[in-house]
Each structure stands twice: as structure tokens, then as C-alpha cells.
Structure 1
Amino acid sequence: MSVSWEMTEQDFEDVKHLLPQSVVAMITVIGLEAAFHMVKVWGGTNYPISNRRRNTRQSRILHAQLVEDIGEEAAGRLERAYAGQPFLAIPRCWDAMRELRNRFIRRQYDAMSAEGLSDLVIVRELVLAHRLSTRNIRYILKEADREAAARAQTDLFAA
């Protein structure tokens, strides 16, 4: 059973309300894919920003590392947007990442259930695949997707 998932544009839209404003701003500057990579790899750290105006060895090394991580174009946009700052604080986005994981687990449950597997077998597989307890998996399966409050309110009056 595969336990990795990729964030799509739709996933981003669905959990955007759970992302810190700094990540939303970073996505605006460098795009979803590059920002997601930065959060996934460097989340919880202060990522040093190259000051390319000073052509020092350290700034060239920092720039090269950023290019390796997110590409030349995104690296340039990030350095221009955050010029003058010694580093970029990259949040872990734990709420959004946990919500994406939980949605993935619910999708896996639905897919395995459609294949005719029993609830006990599915839950056991999910426990082993995600290294969570049975209680946690059951809790995840019972909860609904977390949506933005405003969106949920507008849906009430849409009918």
C-alpha cells in the first residue's frame, strides 16, 4: 500500500484556510510547487536568503542551494521578494499537512472498501502503513474534511 501523497492545486485550495499567511505569500511569489517543496523539506527552519547584490562566496553558495531546491526562476523571485532579510522563516504547516494526510487516509479507506475488503482488514492496513494507532485511524475516519468556516456558511444558503 502506498502511503505517499502529492499536493495538488485542488488540495491547496481545500486547505488554504489552514496555511499561515506567510506561506500564502510565499506561494504567490514562487508558486505552489516550489513553496510546497520548501515547506516539506525546510519547514520549521529559518532558510538563509542570499544577498546576491554582494557577490560573496557565501551568497553564491546560498543561491546555488536555493536553485537546487526550487529552480533558478523561483529562486530569483524569492531572493528579490525577500531581499534584505537574512532568512525566511518557513512554517511547518502542521494543521494543513495533517489535514491532507487525514483526507488521504479517508480516500484510501474508501478505495479499499470499494475493492470489497472488510473494515478490520482496511483499518489494520492503514495502521501499519501510516504508523498510527487503531484509535487514531478510527478517529480520522469519523471526522469530516475541515473546510473554511465562510465556505461552509455560504453552502448553507446555496440551496
Structure 2
Amino acid sequence: MTDSMSGDQPLESVSMLLPLVVLELVGLIGYRETQSLVARLGGVSFPVGKNINVKTGAHRISVLSDAVSVDAANKIMARFGGETLYIPRCAAALRELRNRRFIADYYAMLAAGKSGRIALMTLCPRFGFSDRYGQRLLARKTSEQLPLF
């Protein structure tokens, strides 16, 4: 599967699928920083310290600063200090981004002169799903006119 969180498609395009805490983080630190946070720490319950002078607090700020900028880490600490912040994986949003990328790549291959069958044989293993699933995505895109990007 491709890494949708660090790819060229922003998390912003699937905001309707994001959990409330992620939307709150977006309001606090922006989409780019939130995308980085979810990519690095998604699925983790992160105890946000209030005090960075304590040994564990210093370690936490280090982990957080590895995921986002120091400014964003400070904003997270100011807002969530003393709480345990669960950082969702955003699986539904990531799956939607992956599916949109697959559909875009499929049509790009068709435009480049490849057959639909060759496109499926090439792309499905790359995206980590079966050709039948890929066919269902394409059928759904056709029937619902889903946006590519």
C-alpha cells in the first residue's frame, strides 16, 4: 500500500472522514502538521505533559517534536497538557485517499495507452489489494462520479 499520509494528496480533501479530535488538531496546528502527526503517531495514546523539565516530559516533547514542528508541539502541549491525547489512525480517510490515488493512477495508465487489464495487474499489487477490489472501486467511481483529487 502506498503511504497516503505523506503522498501528494492532502488530508484536507477527506476532512469529512476525520474524527473530531483530528479536526480539533487541524484547527490548532493546521492540516500539514496534523497530517504529519497522524502519519508518525496515529493509533497512539500520547500523554501530553505540562512540564518539559521533568525527564519524562522532555522525552515526550522530543517524540512530539519529531512528528511536528516545535511550534506545533508547543501548541499541542498548551492545549492538551496534562491529558492523554489519543491520536487516531484515520483509517477511513487514509483508505479513501489510497482509493482516489489508485483511480487516478489507473486513468493515467489508460491515457498513456495501457489497457485496463494491464493497469489493474500493475496497480493492484502496488496498492495492496486484489484486482476484484480495484474493479469495484472503478465501478463505484463510475456510478458515483467520485472526485479524483
Which runs of 5 or more residues in structure 1 are unaligned?
147-159
Query: Counterpart of 2:14?
Result: 15
Instruction: Give how far 1:41 is off.
Output: 2.0
Q: Percent identity?
A: 27
107-116 or 136-145, larger mean C-alpha shift? 136-145
Deviation of 1:15 (Å) = 1.2
Instruction: Determine the structure 1 residue equivalent to 2:128.
Output: 131
Alpha-carbon RMSD across the aligned residues, in angstroms, is 1.9
TM-score (norm 2): 0.86
Query: In structure 2, what is the Cα distance between the partners aligned to 1:65 and 1:41?
Result: 10
Tell me, yes or no, if the aligned pair for 2:47 and 2:82 is still in contact at 8 Å.
no
Residue 103 (structure 2) pairs with residue 106 (structure 1): yes
Distance 1:115 1:3 in 2: 21
Q: Where do 4+ consecutive residues of structure 1 move more than 4 Å?
A: 2-5
TM-score for the superposition, normalised by structure 1 = 0.81
- Number of positions where the alignment pairs a residue of Structure 1 with one of Structure 2: 141
The 5 A counterparts of 1:76-115 are 76-85=74-83, 87-115=84-112
> Structure 2 CA distance, aligned partners of 1:126 and 1:8?
17
Counterpart CA distance in 2 for 1:67 and 1:123 is: 40
SS class of match (2:53): coil
- Structure 2 portions without partners, runs of 5+: none
Rg: which structure is higher? 1
Q: Give runs of aligned pairs for residues 4-43 of structure 1, distance below 5 A.
A: 4-5=3-4, 6=7, 8-9=9-10, 12=12, 14-43=13-42
Tell me what 2:138 maps to: 141
What secondary structure, in the 3-state scheme, does the structure 2 residue paired with 1:143 have? helix
Tell me the CA shift for residue 8 of structure 1. Answer: 4.3
